Amino acid sequence: MTGNADGFNNSEDAFSTQSNGSTLGVVSPSHLPPEFYNAYLSTAAKERKPSPIRSLLPLESTPGLISLLAGKPNATTFPFTSLSFTARSPVDDGPETAISLTETELEEALQYGATDGLKQLRNWIVGLQQFSHGRKLDGGWKVSIGSGSLDLIYKAVAATVNKGDSVLVESPVYAGVLPIFQSRNCELVAVETDSCGIQSSSLRSILENWPVGKPRPKILYTVPYGCNPTGMTATLERRKEVLQLAREYNILILEDDPYYYLYYGDGPRYPSYFALELEEPEVGRVLRFDSLSKILSAGLRIGFASGPEPLIQAMDRHTGSSNLQTSTFTQVVAYKLLDAWGYDHFKIHTEKVSAFYRGKRDIFERIMNKHLSGLAQWSSPEAGMFFWFKLILNEDKIAEDGDSEAIIRTKAFDRGVLALPGTVFFPDGRKTAYVRAAFSLSTEPEVEEALKRLRQVILEARAE
C-alpha cells in the first residue's frame, strides 16, 4: 500500500498515485506557460469572445451586491417543490443512502449555473483527480464539466483544430469522434495500435517522416483504457514512449478515458497520461476526459475535462455560446450522491462495476469459444464493454483481412443480430473482417442465441 501527501491510502488500483516507483503529486510540477498554448488554439477559439452576460456572472456573489444582470427565471414559479432519491450502498449489505435536496439546493438545481459546472461538483472532481491520479490543484490545470465527455471532446477539438489540420488518431479509433474531425475536414493520420496500445514505433515513424513544410499535427487522440472498440489497454512502457514523443514533437494528448474505472485486466493498473506527465520536465501536454456515463448513469450526461487552463477556458467560452452549461439539475443530483459516498465509497462502487463487466466478458467469451471457435479470432478485452473479433471467412487465408460489412450489416441483421462492422472504426474507412460486439446488456441466453445465429451466418458466408 502507498499513500500520497494528503494521506489517501491508495493501492495499486484505479486510485493509485504511483507509477514507476515514485510518488507523484508531492512536489509542485513546473507547468508550461500560458503562452505555450497560443500556438495550439484554433482561429475560431482565438476569435470567440466570452459571453458578455456569463463573464459577469461570478460577480453576482459579491457581498451586498444587488444583481439586475441575468435573465434568471424566478424559481418560485417552477412546479418542483422537493427532490429526494435513494441510492444503493456500494458496500455489501450496506444500507441504502437516502438523499434529499435542501430548499437552497433545489433552487440551485432548478436555476442557471456556472458555465464550467457546479462549483461543489467541480471541487469534488478536483479531489478525485488527486485521489486517482495524484494531481493537486496547483494553478496549472483546471476542471470543466460538460454534457457528457463527448461534448467536451467536441469543444476541445473546436478549440485546437483548424479546418484541414492534420490530427493523429489511434487506429482503430472510437467511431464517435470521427464525425467531429471529419466535419473540420481534418486529415486523419492513423497511428497503428496493438494489444499494448498505440505502437510508438508507428507514431515515431509518422512524425520523423512528416513532410517538410507541412504543418505537423498538434493533437493525438487516444483511449488508453479499454480502447473502444478493441478493449485493449496501453501498457506503461507505451504510455511513456508516447508521452516522450509528445514532448519531442510538441503534441497535445487528448486522453479520452471513460473506461478508466472499468478496468478488470489481470495485469497491473497503469497510471493515466494525466498522472504520468507529472514525471515530465514540464507538465501541460495532456487534456484528460472522464465520464460519469459508465459508472453513475449515462442519462445524467456528465463528463469532465481536466487540463491546461488556457485550453479549458477556450472550451468554456464555446460552452458560453452554445449550451451555456451542463444541466444544473443533474449536476446537483450527481454531487449529492458523490458527496454522500465520499472517495472511498466511490472507489468501492467503481470496483464493483468493473467486476460486473468482467463477469459479463467471461460469459461472452465462454460462449464465443463454444460457437465461434475457428470462425473468429479475438483477444480478451481488459476493460470496458466490447469484444473486437475478426471473422475468419476463408479458412485458408486467416491472415488476410476480409470484409465484415455486408455480413454484419445485412446477413446477421436479417437473422436478428445487430453488431457493428469494424470498418466504422477505421479513420480511412478501410475494409476489415473485424466486428465490434457490446456485451454490457445481453443476458446469457441472449448471448447464446446471438452467437449461435452469428455462427450460422459465418458458415453460410464461407459456403458461398
CA dist list (Å): 319 to 9, 27, 283, 352: 36, 33, 25, 34
Tell me whether residue 256 or residue 280 sits nearer to ligand PMP (CB atom).
Answer: 256
Binding of ligand PMP by 262 (CB under 6 A): no
Tell me whether residue 259 or residue 389 sits nearer to ligand PMP (CB atom).
Answer: 259
Tell me whether residue 134 or residue 384 sits nearer to ligand PMP (CB atom).
Answer: 384
What's the 3-state SS for 107-147?
HHHCCCCCCCCCHHHHHHHHHHHHHHHCCCCCCCEEEEEEC
Q: What residues between 91 and 120 interact with ligand PMP by CB under 6 A?
A: none
CB of 262 to ligand PMP, least distance (A): 10
Number of residues that bind ligand PMP (CB under 6 A): 13
Whole-angstrom Cα distance, residue 108 to residue 276?
37
Reading the block at residue 48, the C-alpha cell is 470567440
Tell me whether residue 186 or residue 296 sits nearer to ligand PMP (CB atom).
Answer: 296
Give which of 221, 168, 224, 171 is closest to 193, Cα–Cα.
171
Binding of ligand PMP by 172 (CB under 6 A): no
CB of 174 to ligand PMP, least distance (A): 4
CB of 133 to ligand PMP, least distance (A): 18
CB of 301 to ligand PMP, least distance (A): 7
Tell me whether residue 223 or residue 232 sits nearer to ligand PMP (CB atom).
Answer: 223
Among 101, 109, 126, 150, binds ligand PMP (CB under 6 A): 150
Q: What residues between 200 and 229 interact with ligand PMP by CB under 6 A?
A: 223, 228
Binding of ligand PMP by 303 (CB under 6 A): yes
* Contact map string, positions 2 to 21, toward ligand PMP, x by CB under 6 A: --------------------
Binding of ligand PMP by 258 (CB under 6 A): yes
- Which of these segments, 21-29, 74-82, 145-153, 316-324, binds ligand PMP (CB under 6 A)? 145-153
Binding of ligand PMP by 316 (CB under 6 A): no
Tell me whether residue 262 or residue 367 sits nearer to ligand PMP (CB atom).
Answer: 262
Q: What residues between 282 and 301 interact with ligand PMP by CB under 6 A?
A: 291, 293, 298
Binding of ligand PMP by 387 (CB under 6 A): no
Among 170, 241, 255, 256, binds ligand PMP (CB under 6 A): 256
Tell me whether residue 151 or residue 280 sits nearer to ligand PMP (CB atom).
Answer: 151
Binding of ligand PMP by 319 (CB under 6 A): no
Whole-angstrom Cα distance, residue 40 to residue 21?
33
What's the 3-state SS for the chain?
CEECCCCCEECCCCCCCEECCEECCCCCCCECCHHHHHHCCCHHHHHCCCCCCHHHHHHHHCCCCCCCCCCCCCHHHCCCCCCEEEECCCCCCCCCEEEECCHHHHHHHCCCCCCCCCHHHHHHHHHHHHHHHCCCCCCCEEEEEECCHHHHHHHHHHHHCCCCCEEEEEECCCHHHHHHHHCCCCEEEEEEEECCEECHHHHHHHHHCCCCCCCCCCEEEECCCCCCCCCCCCCHHHHHHHHHHHHHCCCEEEEECCCHHHECCCCCCCCCHHHHHHHCCCECCEEEEEECCCCCCCCCCCEEEEEEHHHHHHHHHHHHCCCCCCCHHHHHHHHHHHHHHHHHHHHHHHHHHHHHHHHHHHHHHHHHHHHHECCEEECCCCECCEEEEEECCCHHHCCCCCCCHHHHHHHHHHCCCCCEEHHHHCCCCCCCCEEEEECCCCCHHHHHHHHHHHHHHHHHHHHC
Binding of ligand PMP by 408 (CB under 6 A): no
Tell me whether residue 10 or residue 442 sits nearer to ligand PMP (CB atom).
Answer: 442
Whole-angstrom Cα distance, residue 399 to residue 192?
17
Binding of ligand PMP by 255 (CB under 6 A): no
Binding of ligand PMP by 230 (CB under 6 A): no
CB of 258 to ligand PMP, least distance (A): 5
Among 112, 123, 176, 424, binds ligand PMP (CB under 6 A): 176
Tell me whether residue 10 or residue 149 sits nearer to ligand PMP (CB atom).
Answer: 149
Binding of ligand PMP by 140 (CB under 6 A): no
- Which of these segments, 51-59, 67-75, 96-104, 146-154, binds ligand PMP (CB under 6 A)? 146-154
Among 131, 174, 249, 378, binds ligand PMP (CB under 6 A): 174
Tell me whether residue 94 or residue 179 sits nearer to ligand PMP (CB atom).
Answer: 179
Query: Given the rule CB under 6 A, which residues bind ligand PMP?
Result: 148-150, 174, 176, 223, 228, 256, 258, 291, 293, 298, 303
